[in-house]
Chain A
Amino acid sequence: MSFIILQTASLFTTIGIPVIVIGSLGLIFGLILAIASKLFEVQIDPRVAEIIEILPGANCGACGLAGCAGYADRIVNGGEAPNKCAPGGAATAAMIAKIMGMEAEAMEQKVAVIHCSSGGKNNTKWKYAYEGVDSCKSAVNIAGGPNSCSWGCLGLNDCLRACPFDAISLDPNGLRVIDFDKCTACGMCVAACPRKLIHLVPINRNVYVKCSSKERGPDARSVCGSAKPCIGCGICAKKCPVQCITVENNLARIDYSVCTNCGICATVCPTKSILDLLADMRTKEEVSSEA
């Protein structure tokens, strides 16, 4: 009998005590944490989480804040406008506004446009053969870049790699083509281009100056590989019916808040450096009557 008691006693010391000690430790820690979670509770607005759900989650930074979570926090706690998310567009802005209980202001949808028609395999003039790191940022540091035009596209695809939405692709000639359906105007390519060739343009404007050269006319003409430089002649500015084009530093720029998409500038440009996406769809009568 005493043998059994002895055995139960040793069983208790070898198994019972550890079980009790560890079990009660767990219980105590659990209680402490439960009390602490009440005591040190931080109020987090549930709307922040809801807005994070709605945002695209690309963390592109187009809103100017650090990632989608940062933007959601700022909307709720900092009074940021709900229409800053370029990738999300108007639909996202409307949903965020609904959560916040305010009216969404219409957001102007934009797309990225490369303001250079050069940069492909057979329409670029080269100063030297560049064989360094496969990046525009690197190439542009060596003797002002490998291409003759020091304003033009280097053709090393930094913008293509920067695009989080696969909106930029290469055509057979090696030119970068931006798919307007995929482009969300997040601005990653704008920041990636060391020559600052990419600008965001309202999606309903279809006329672009496809050049960024500030060289004088003859110089721009001699270095341009695509033979479509802006020579700063100013004919477009004179012919524009709404005076939305200004020529500054030998380069024409279109003010898209005024532009009516008429396409006249594209027809009068002597070097064809202004691209009109709707050119094929316009009839001659339309153009002349608008003029």
Chain B
Amino acid sequence: MGYLGEIFVMAMTAIFIQNFVLSRFLGLCPYLGVSKKLDSALGMGLAVIFVMTLASAFTFLMNRYLLMPYNMEYLQTIAFILIIAALVQFVEMVVQKNAPALYNALGVYLPLITTNCAVLGVAILNTSLFRSDGVTPYTFLDSTLNGFFSGVGFTVVLLAMAGIRMRLEKSELPKSMRGMPIALILAGIMALAFYGFVGFKI
């Protein structure tokens, strides 16, 4: 299998089989909080893709060239949170200065996801993942791509959730089920549906 095949496997795994929200149960807070409207869900999704990709790249470098030489992998959580938070803050400032339009679209969501568990999750998972041959650990490019596809998976699920919730707004529900209760049930059903992907082996 060539490298393109490897990327395909990675994408399918990150988006469907091991979806961050519905299989790994990470990033549930924005999944329930920012899924009321389609356009805000899209903004949030794009921000997550952006941050996950960047975070994967930088945490890989940190893990490989700083933590591993000193046998300090046990400090992953602290070190990764530190680098992700600083990175997002820095990027936010640069974007605000140089691309105000992009800042208006993503800006409000960026601080929300600096220490989001899905972002930290992808960074930590990258250190322990292997390619489909089962021996080669993820390289720098692999990690970055995995971060990108994980973000895409998050966005896909968030958009689906927002679409369904916008329809739910118009439906007549028992009073006790309106709002968050039906959203939680909906999340459970979506997770069950995605559970169907688990059996697939690519």
Contacts and interface: CB of A to CB of B under 8 A. Distances in A.
Contact of A33 (B79, B86, B98): B86
B111 to A, nearest CB: 13
Interface in A10-45: 17-18, 21-22, 25-26, 29-30, 32-33, 36-37, 40-42
B135 interface: no
B94 A17 contact: no
Contacts of B66: 21, 25
A134 interface: yes
A129 interface: no
B82 A22 contact: yes
Interface in B69-92: 70, 72, 75, 78-79, 82-83, 86, 89-90
Given A21-B66, A133-B170, A36 B75 contact: no
B72 A29 contact: no
Contacts of B97: 40-42
Contacts of B83: 25, 29
B70 A21 contact: yes
Contact of A18 (B75, B90, B94, B171): B75
Given A21-B70, A25-B79, A133 B172 contact: yes
Contact of B90 (A21, A22, A32): A32
B96 interface: yes
A134 B172 CA distance: 8
Interface string A174-203: 000000000000000000000000000000
Contacts, number: 45
Contacts of A17: 70, 72
A10 to B, nearest CB: 12
Interface in A25-80: 25-26, 29-30, 32-33, 36-37, 40-42
A40 B93 contact: yes
Name the residue among B66, B83, B93, B172 with the largest chain A CB count within 10 angstroms.
Answer: B93
Contact of B86 (A21, A29, A132, A134): A29
B82 A18 contact: no
A21 B172 contact: no
A33 B89 contact: yes
Contacts of A29: 82-83, 86
B72 A21 contact: yes
Contacts of A21: 66, 70, 72
A37 B75 contact: no
Given A17-B70, A133-B172, A36 B82 contact: no
Nearest to B100: A42
A134 B82 CA distance: 50
A160 B98 CA distance: 45
Given A25-B82, A42-B97, A36 B90 contact: yes
B89 to A, nearest CB: 6
B86 A22 contact: no
B58 to A, nearest CB: 11
B78 A22 contact: yes
Interface string B44-82: 000000000000000000000010001010010011001
A22 B79 contact: yes
Contacts of A32: 86, 90
B70 A18 contact: yes
Interface in B96-126: 96-98
A104 B83 CA distance: 50
A38 to B, nearest CB: 10
A36 B72 contact: no
A99 B169 CA distance: 41
B115 to A, nearest CB: 14
Contacts of B72: 17-18, 21
Nearest to A138: B170
Given A22-B79, A40-B98, A42-B96, 15 more contacts: A17-B72, A18-B70, A21-B70, A29-B83, A29-B86, A30-B86, A32-B90, A33-B90, A33-B93, A36-B93, A36-B94, A40-B97, A41-B97, A133-B170, A133-B172
Interface of B: 66, 70, 72, 75, 78-79, 82-83, 86, 89-90, 93-94, 96-98, 170-172
12 contacts: A17-B72, A18-B72, A21-B70, A25-B82, A29-B82, A29-B86, A32-B90, A40-B97, A42-B96, A133-B170, A133-B171, A133-B172
